[in-house]
Amino acid sequence: MNTVKLYLRSMQMLMKSQLQYPVSFLMQTLAQLVMEGGEFMAVLLIVDRFDHLNQWTPGNLYFFFGMMSVTFYLTEIFGRGITGNFPSLVRTGQLDTLLLRPRGIVTQVLCSAVDPRRVACVAVGVAALILGSRQSAVQWTTGKALAMAEAILFGVLLILGLFLIEAIFCIHSVKSIELVNAITYGGRSACQYPVDIFPRPLRLLFTIAAPFALTLHVPSAYILGKPLYGWPAWTAFVSPAAGGVLFLMLYLLFARAMRYYRSTGS
Amino acid sequence: MMKAYLSAFRMRWKMELQYRGAVVGGFVCQVFFGLILVSLYRALYAGKPQSLPIESVTTYVWLQQAFFRMILSSDPDLANRIRTGDIAYDLCRPLQLYGYYYARILAQKLLGSLLRAAPMLVFAACLPRGWGLVLPASLPALAVALLGLVLGLLCVCTLENITVGITMRTLDPRGVQAMLNLLMTTLSGNILPLTLFPDSWQKAITLLPYAQLLDAPIRLYSGQYALAQAPRALLVQAVWTVILLGLGLLLWQKNQKRLIVQGG
């Protein structure tokens, strides 16, 4: 519990420091809005030209887009330490200071950064979700709300887990590996769309290796009333846990990798 | 005088060559993104075929992926120099600052995209039809497309220098620079091919400076701009390059008069 308190306290302090430069903050937030707005515009334009994507109506597509951007950018806001800062911590040797303190490394790294600018992206995602659920005429029930909350929660863990892969590479090779972006940012780009539109290899990749489909798409499809792969409804409550499992596995691997950490010095 | 700019260009070129490992990683990443996009457009086409053949769309995607670094890469050194005040040293050089940085960014973008484009184009050409890159519409089309690519490169560097010129004023590269760069990814056809934008927008959107970078050369390549239209397309590119060059020079000259050197 103490850890949670520590994290919340750090977030509070970091937010305060970020807001010290309001104009700069506003500009950057606006830039984020342009970025995510551009991504969403692409979906709107696609719908304008193609009407639908296999079984998915425009409203469904907005919903999938919204689920991904809310989840991904919530992770970027609250997990900035892992999604953005870790490579520089290793390169500059700042990670050494964290080793001296009586708390876990992942906790401390998470406490080291926050990125409130991404709130603009989350806002675009929320707008897409509202638009999507309206146009798809979703009948909200407690079950569906629960499925959505669960999907977002485990989705955040999944994305954190995927970024831990980069952190692990970083510990071994110091330099951050652009390659890992394929799975994190590539996963985001691909899984803005329901996974069943992709050819088999990509589908398998995003269902098993980086289980965006299990974590986000199965519950989303359940909420939209069009079960993915024709799976029964209860799977929407079980399959998101895949995100948690992946995070746990990578967390353990990360802890192992830390044993081989060698400071870059200076 | 020209020699100085050439050596600025050469130095930057050599520096870019140092990061071959990053090039391999970037290549794999770019291929992966390309495959995702191509799969998406194929699924869309399966539902509702368009008058524009799918081969043109996949070719568009791969050419965009191949020359990605030409569009999105900036000189982080420069933003740092502005922030820390090291730009004062550059001001002491017996050179025109604009030209000096133009040469540097040109080298960075040229080499960055050549190193990535070559393997990417080979890879994309090996993919089956409907997935990969198809041959240019004709040999003359390829020739004008290459000319268009050179103009596009010259044009993107003038845009980059304007962004830097604005950074000199605001000192923080993350606000304005980020916004301009993001506008560029959408309007240059990187996120969604400009050819798939609504038909009623085509006229306006292809006249914007962002369409001159890669969209125009790609359309020349795949014959969406017929050879008869090529002179016009190249002219639009050239006109924008000259306008943006003029604007950039003006901005930089103004900046130099009121530049406050940071740090100490």
Domain residue ranges of chain B, discontinuous segments joined by +: 2-258
Closest by alpha carbon to B159, among B88, B232, B245? B245
| Interchain proximity B47–A53, CB inside 8 Å | yes
Q: Is B29 on the interface with A (CB under 8 A)?
A: yes
Looking at the complex, report in whole angstroms how far the Cα of residue A177 sits from the nearest Cα belonging to chain B. Answer: 7
How many whole angstroms separate alpha carbon A112 and alpha carbon B92?
Answer: 40
Q: How confident is the model at residue B262 (pLDDT cuts 50, 70, 90)?
A: low
pTM of the model: 0.89
| Interchain proximity B35–A202, CB inside 8 Å | yes
Bridge partner list, A184: none
Residue B263 has a pLDDT of: 63
pLDDT at B109 over 80: yes
Rounded to an integer, the average pLDDT of B9-25 is: 74
Low-confidence ranges of chain A (pLDDT < 70): 1, 174-177, 265-266
Rounded to an integer, the average pLDDT of B22-49 is: 87
pLDDT in tens, B202-253: 899 999 999 999 999 999 999 888 888 999 999 999 999 999 999 999 998 8
Residue B261's region, left for phi above 0, alpha for psi from -120 to 50, else beta, is beta
For chain B, percent of residues with pLDDT exceeding 90: 36
Closest by alpha carbon to A160, among A44, A77, A103, A234? A77
Which chain A residues have a beta carbon less than 8 Å from that of B182? 31, 34-35, 38
Looking at the complex, report in whole angstroms how far the Cα of residue A178 sits from the nearest Cα belonging to chain B. Answer: 5
Bridge partner list, A53: A56
Residue B247 has a pLDDT of: 94
Q: How confident is the model at residue B173 (pLDDT cuts 50, 70, 90)?
A: low
Number of Cα atoms under 13 Å in the Cβ half of residue B179: 17
Q: Is B175 on the interface with A (CB under 8 A)?
A: yes
| Interchain proximity A30–B25, CB inside 8 Å | no
DSSP, collapsed to helix, strand or coil, labels residue B132 as coil
How many whole angstroms separate alpha carbon B160 and alpha carbon B209?
Answer: 12
Q: Roughly how many angstroms between the first and final C-alpha of chain B, as a whole number?
A: 31
How many whole angstroms separate alpha carbon A199 and alpha carbon B257?
Answer: 58
Residue A194 has a pLDDT of: 94
Give all strands (DSSP E) within B8-143, no chain letters: none
Which chain B residues have a beta carbon less than 8 Å from that of A115? none
Number of Cα atoms under 13 Å in the Cβ half of residue B192: 20
pLDDT in tens, B177-190: 777 777 888 889 88
Instruction: Give the list of residues 6+ apart from residue A152 with CB closer than 8 angstroms, or none.
Output: A67, A70, A71, A74
Residue B5 has a pLDDT of: 80
| Interchain proximity B36–A190, CB inside 8 Å | yes
Helices (H) and strands (E) in chain A, counts: 15, 0
Residue B152 has a pLDDT of: 94
Type of residue at A64: F
Q: Is B191 on the interface with A (CB under 8 A)?
A: yes
How many whole angstroms separate alpha carbon A43 and alpha carbon B27?
Answer: 26
How many whole angstroms separate alpha carbon B174 and alpha carbon A158?
Answer: 28
Task: Return mean pLDDT, chain B.
Answer: 86
Closest by alpha carbon to B235, among B159, B140, B157, B151? B151
How many whole angstroms separate alpha carbon B250 and alpha carbon A240?
Answer: 56
Query: pLDDT: is A262 or B199 the higher one?
Result: B199
Tokens representing A115 are: 């990125």
Residue B52 has a pLDDT of: 86
pLDDT in tens, A208-260: 999 999 999 999 999 999 888 888 989 999 999 999 999 999 999 999 988 88
Bridge partner list, A142: none
Task: Return mean pLDDT, chain A.
Answer: 89
How many whole angstroms separate alpha carbon A71 and alpha carbon A152?
Answer: 5
How many whole angstroms separate alpha carbon B229 and alpha carbon B234?
Answer: 9
Which chain B residues have a beta carbon less than 8 Å from that of A198? 36, 39-40, 43
Taking CA atoms, A105 is separated from A1, A94, A141, B168, in Å, by 17, 12, 40, 38
Residue A218 has a pLDDT of: 94
Q: State yes or no: ipTM above 0.95.
A: no
Residue A114 has a pLDDT of: 87
Closest by Cβ to B186, choosing from A38, A190, A193: A38
Closest by alpha carbon to B64, among B250, B227, B222, B243? B222
The single-letter DSSP state of residue A53 is: B
| Interchain proximity B191–A42, CB inside 8 Å | yes
Type of residue at A131: L
Closest by alpha carbon to B181, among A69, A23, A35? A35
Burial class (CB in 10 A: 0-12, 13-18, 19+), B2: exposed
Looking at chain A, which residue has its C-alpha nearest residue B31? Answer: A182
Burial class (CB in 10 A: 0-12, 13-18, 19+), A99: exposed
Q: How confident is the model at residue B42 (pLDDT cuts 50, 70, 90)?
A: very high
The single-letter DSSP state of residue B27 is: H
